[in-house]
Amino acid sequence: MKLSCDAKLAGKFAKKCGYIPKGGIRNKWYFNWDDVDRVATQVVNKGTKVSKLVLKEGTKLYPAEGYKQSKASHALSILDYGNGYIHTDNYTVTYRGEEERMRIQELVHGGRVGTISEKVNAGINGELSFEILGYESGMLITEDNWNSDENGGTTTLTVATKEGEEEATGAKLFLDTNHNTTAEWIKANEAA
**pLDDT tens, residue by residue, 122-159:** 888 889 999 999 999 999 999 999 999 988 889 999 99
Distance from C-alpha of 116 to C-alpha of 131, rounded to nearest angstrom = 6
Q: Is residue 1 part of a domain?
A: no
Quickly count: other Cβ atoms within 10 Å of residue 182's Cβ.
22
| CA max distance for the chain | 52
Supply the range of the domain harboring residue 154.
25-189
Burial of 55 (0-12, 13-18, 19+ CB in 10 A): middle
Q: Is residue 4 part of a domain?
A: no
Q: Is residue 14 part of a domain?
A: no
Count the domains in the chain: 1
Q: With beta carbons less than 8 A apart as the criterion, state whether 61 and 189 touch.
A: yes
SS3 category, 157: strand
Distance from C-alpha of 176 to C-alpha of 130, rounded to nearest angstrom = 10
Its pTM surpasses 0.95: no
Cα first-last separation, the chain: 31
Sequence-distant (6+) residues with CB within 8 A of 100 are 93, 155
Question: What does the pLDDT look like over 106-121, one tens digit per residue?
Answer: 999 999 999 999 999 8
By C-alpha distance, which of 141, 117, 137, 138 is closest to 129? 117
Q: Give the per-residue pLDDT at 64.
A: 92
Distance from C-alpha of 83 to C-alpha of 1, rounded to nearest angstrom = 16
Q: Is residue 158 part of a domain?
A: yes
